[in-house]
Amino acid sequence: MTGVAVVGFAQTPCRVREDVTTSGVEMLVPIFAEVFRATGLTKADIGFWCSGSSDYLAGRAFSFVQAVDAIGAVPPAMESHVEMDAAWALYEAWVKILTGEAEIALAYGFGKSSGAQLRRVLALQLDPYLVAPLWPDSVSIAALQARLGLDAGRWTEKDMATVAARSQTAAQSNPQAQVSGHVTISELLERPYVAEPLRAHDCAPVGDGAAVVIIAAADRARELCARPAWITGFEHRIDSGALGARDLLAVPSATAAGLACAARAAGAHGHRPDGIDVAELHAPFTHQELLLRAALRLGDGVDVNPSGGALCGNPMFAAGLARIGMAARAVMSGRAGRTLGHATSGPALQQNLVCVMEAQ
Amino acid sequence: MDHPLRAPLEIEFDYTRSLGPVLSEFMTALAGRRILGARGADGRVHAPPFEYDPVGSAPPGELTEVGPEGTVVSWSWMPEPLEGQPLAGPFAWALIRLDGADTTMLHAVDAGSAAAMRTGLRVRTRWAASRVGSIRDIACFEPCHGVNAAEEAGAAEEAGAVTGTITPVRLSYMHTASPGESAYLRGLADHRLLGQRCGVCGHVYVPPRGTCPADGVPTQEEVELPDTGTVTTFCVVNVAYPGQRVTPPYVAAAVLLDGADIAFQHLILGCEPSEVRMGLRVRAVWSDSGISHFAPTGEPDAAYETYARDL
């Protein structure tokens, strides 16, 4: 199989941006320039572009087309779009390289999450016949999942606050984080509920942002990057859309994607890979980090979300791609040998994507 | 630079969907105050019913009645309900396992206070006063307090078959215009047309796009354009639609302002639709709110070569 590696990553700070449009252009132009500077590439070198965004955030149809302005698509570019987190756009780009249709591909995601009431807009991703007409918001649905775990003794509210405190402390080293700082667990637990049993620190903040990742086929990757992050596994799976029919305390799609990554890596190496050094998990709620650690079988030795994770900055449709970008950066910078980037989509961790990367 | 213009944007649409055989039966039953579930190949009863068995993918056989009471499996508290949610005052969202079912249904519980909620709470269906065959025919659930729900709810009724469902969706945004668009909109108020020129290719875009779509670089040089231009192409609108502000037939045209490199769409009035043609020279007719429409200037038509590149 053709080797493919991440060779570049950039993201905007995650902030509420009253000054930007929903087209993404103002957020994308600077980070395209940044990733081109870092890799020495120009737009003419990109054989395939793929974006992830949503009309429901923009409040207008075909909003992603306007973002193409940021590419500068003259002469015409080979371009595609997913109405999903851009981690899935990166997956499409990866397949494009594997099939030999491109050597270098760029995936980008953007979301102005603050344009409307995000938790209400996200009700429209639910079953349109039986669920969405009730307008259940994303925070309330996550709270139902959190309560199941509390009732089952899987975690406590203190465990959830511990995830938040650790994330916010870690985010102090991440200038792009929206939330960071030193907080104590007891102080967090004194704060009021937003959607009992969730408090504000249990939920990702609403913020706007964009991210971009460039991947390249083997020979080009070595030219472009001293230490490319080679993709050894890239898988995504989905669970049932029927919320009440799922076991919300298992994340079978994440487990299946993780195992498939391991199997692919084992095939490539002839042996099962050792542990992961760093995992960037797309967990927009504290209890979901606990669920994902278990579903992906990450041991205590794994450094989880050294960036602060989605709990400290969750630009919709870019945050999953940014997790892969941050995990890739850990390899490219030499801080880690093998890393895992994860993205989620849908209510209560319905859909999950895992990308495993390593140094050669 | 002035701050970008912002304004509320309200969009709404009635999503009108047809129901397949399973959901049609389910919704018809709701209108008649009955809740149906589907038995899967593994023997589990799903309520609401599946359309295709999640294990074997077969459609369900005969649907089976469940509820109207059930048990709360999980819950969360909604202190300030959002627009469109089932109750106006504080309520609980809950996953409810209806009696006779193995899966849960997501719905609201009118419990009064979070203190009255608990996992394991017995709840019963509160039916909407008027029922049309919608998940909202269940107004919400409420704590049982020992009353026999079957008696309280009244006997099931026969209802005509429901084959479709309409879901009104209304979303509210705060829309922000880009800096270039904001300058353009402010210019219109002063009866000026402001565009931007790309520093790389020199093309002039009006309205400004902020970024050159050919080069992908920010466009910052402001250019003022005259209010005259050429119709590059057009169509005659003969179809009436809700919200239309001009009576058909009328002409929607692509107008290339003199000095611009991109056409924009506007109305052509001041002549018969049959008189509008490619190359027609037009001038803006201003109103208090900007350009009302474009009207013919009476000049000779522009030569095809002058706008061929912009078609």
Contact B211/A at CB under 8 A = yes
Do A284 and A326 fall within a single domain? yes
Do B69 and B109 fall within a single domain? yes
Do A154 and A97 fall within a single domain? no
- Residue B54, pLDDT > 90, answer no
Contact A247/B at CB under 8 A = no
Looking at the domain assignment, is residue B1 inside a domain? no
pLDDT at A2: 61
Give the phi and the psi of residue B31 in degrees, each rounded to 5.
Answer: -60, -30
Pairing of strands B45-46, B35-39: antiparallel
For chain B, strand residue ranges (E) read 6-18, 35-39, 45-46, 64-66, 69-78, 91-98, 105-109, 122-127, 138-143, 164-176, 193-197, 204-205, 221-225, 228-237, 250-257, 264-268, 281-287, 290-296
Amino acid occupying residue B299 = E
CA atoms within 13 A on the CB side of A64: 22
Residue B264 lies in domain: 227-311
Q: Which tokens go with B111?
A: 């419990």
pLDDT at A268: 66
Kindly state the average pLDDT of the residues B51-70: 92
Q: In chain A, whose CA is at the least distance from the CA of B213?
A: A69
User: Which of B74, B121, B165, B172 to probe the A interface (max A CBs under 10 A)?
Assistant: B74
B152 or A218, which is more confident: A218
Residue B272 distance to chain A (closest CA, Å): 33
Instruction: Count up the domains in chain B and report the number.
Output: 3
Do B162 and B22 fall within a single domain? yes
Is the Cβ–Cβ distance between A324 and A87 less than 8 Å?
Answer: yes
Do B133 and B65 fall within a single domain? yes
- Residue B90, pLDDT > 60, answer yes
Looking at the domain assignment, is residue B4 inside a domain? no
Q: Which of B170, B200, B217 is the last residue of a domain?
A: B170
A109 or B156, which is more confident: A109
Looking at the domain assignment, is residue B106 inside a domain? yes
A 297-356: CB under 8 A from B: none
Looking at the domain assignment, is residue B100 inside a domain? yes
Do B186 and B286 fall within a single domain? no
Do A29 and A147 fall within a single domain? no
Is the Cβ–Cβ distance between A164 and A187 less than 8 Å?
Answer: no
Q: What is the pLDDT of residues B1-50, one digit of tens each?
A: 578 899 999 999 999 999 999 999 999 999 999 999 999 999 999 999 99
Is the Cβ–Cβ distance between A279 and A143 less than 8 Å?
Answer: no
> pTM of the full predicted structure?
0.94
- Among B46, B95, B173, beta carbon nearest to A144: B95
Do B85 and B155 fall within a single domain? yes
Looking at the domain assignment, is residue B3 inside a domain? no
Do A224 and A106 fall within a single domain? yes
Q: Which of A176, A202, A228 is the last residue of a domain?
A: A202
- Residue B96, pLDDT > 80, answer yes
pLDDT at B155: 59
CA gap A316, A310 in Å, rounded: 10
Q: Which tokens go with A22?
A: 């929903």
- Residue B209, pLDDT > 90, answer no
Do A93 and A219 fall within a single domain? yes
Asked if the Cβ–Cβ distance from A245 to B46 is below 8 Å, we say yes
Instruction: List, in order, residues 6 or more apart from B100 with CB less than 8 Å away.
Output: B37, B45, B47, B64, B65, B66, B67
Do A163 and A60 fall within a single domain? no
Looking at the domain assignment, is residue B261 inside a domain? yes
Q: Which residues of chain A have pLDDT under 50?
A: 1
Do A180 and A228 fall within a single domain? no
Asked if the Cβ–Cβ distance from A244 to B209 is below 8 Å, we say no
Do B116 and B199 fall within a single domain? no
- Among A119, A121, A132, beta carbon nearest to B171: A121
Do A109 and A129 fall within a single domain? no
Do B22 and B85 fall within a single domain? yes
CA gap A313, A325 in Å, rounded: 14
Residue A186 lies in domain: 121-202
Do B140 and B278 fall within a single domain? no
Do B128 and B200 fall within a single domain? no
CA gap A4, A185 in Å, rounded: 42
- Reduced DSSP (H G I as helix, E B as strand, rest coil) percent helix, strand, coil of chain A, to 5: 40, 20, 35
CA dihedral B103, B105, B106, B107 (to 10 degrees): -150
> What is the DSSP-derived secondary structure letter of residue A250?
-
pLDDT at A271: 52
Q: Which of A202, A231, A266 is the last residue of a domain?
A: A202
Do B95 and B25 fall within a single domain? yes
Looking at the domain assignment, is residue B60 inside a domain? yes
For residue B243, count CB atoms less than 10 angstroms from its CB and return exposed for 0-12, middle for 13-18, buried for 19 or more: exposed
Do B14 and B160 fall within a single domain? yes
Do B86 and B235 fall within a single domain? no
Do A177 and A192 fall within a single domain? yes
Do A102 and A149 fall within a single domain? no
Contact B21/A at CB under 8 A = no
- Residue B148, pLDDT > 70, answer no
Do A184 and A241 fall within a single domain? no
Asked if the Cβ–Cβ distance from A116 to B82 is below 8 Å, we say no
Q: What is the mean pLDDT of chain B?
A: 92
Could you report the predicted ipTM of this complex, rounded to two decimals? 0.94
Looking at the domain assignment, is residue B94 inside a domain? yes
Percentage of residues in chain B having pLDDT higher than 70: 95
Pairing of strands A104-112, A48-52: parallel
pLDDT at B157: 66
pLDDT at A19: 84
User: Where residue B154 falls among pLDDT bands split at 50, 70, 90?
Assistant: low
Instruction: Count up the domains in chain A and report the number.
Output: 2
Do A146 and A280 fall within a single domain? no
